[in-house]
Amino acid sequence: MSLRLRLAGVVVCAIAGAVSAEAGVRAGYYLLTVGSTPPCKLSLAGDGTASLTESCNKLGAVARWNATAAGFDLVDGNGTALASLKDGNDAYTGRTAGGQRVMVAR
């Protein structure tokens, strides 16, 4: 096997792994709960933008979402992380930058 063919195989496997890691989070509407507040409607768009359709002032101004190997992060317009969530059985769970519990129901 030539070195080029081997390297091409490594690149294909790396790309496939990155795609499968992001496949768990899909664009759509979710319910976001921060601490003990009532749920807010969270919209995750396919282009990476995110928005809250109702006031959810405990989290801040969500502008984008970034898929991670474990789930996804919510960030503001400046790229500051607002919350980091991990995939669970029925929901994504995690914490805000300030340490509050966060849950995103599918």
Sheet of strand 71-75: strand arrangement: 50-52, 40-44, 28-34, 101-105, 91-96, 81-87, 71-75, 64-67
Domain range enclosing 60:
3-105
Q: How many domains does the chain have?
A: 1
Using an 8 Å Cβ cutoff, are 85 and 74 in contact?
yes
CATH number at residue 75: 2.40.128.10
Average pLDDT over residues 56-70: 87
More confident residue, 54 or 45: 45
Residues belonging to the chain: 106
What's the pTM?
0.73
Average pLDDT over residues 55-70: 86
pLDDT greater than 80 at residue 46: yes
Structure tokens at 56: 């959810």
Average pLDDT over residues 49-77: 88
Measured between alpha carbons, how far is residue 5 from residues 23, 36, 89 in Å? 27, 54, 39
pLDDT score recorded for residue 1 = 53
pLDDT score recorded for residue 16 = 40
- The pLDDT tens digits of the residues spanning 6-21 come to 544 444 444 444 443 4
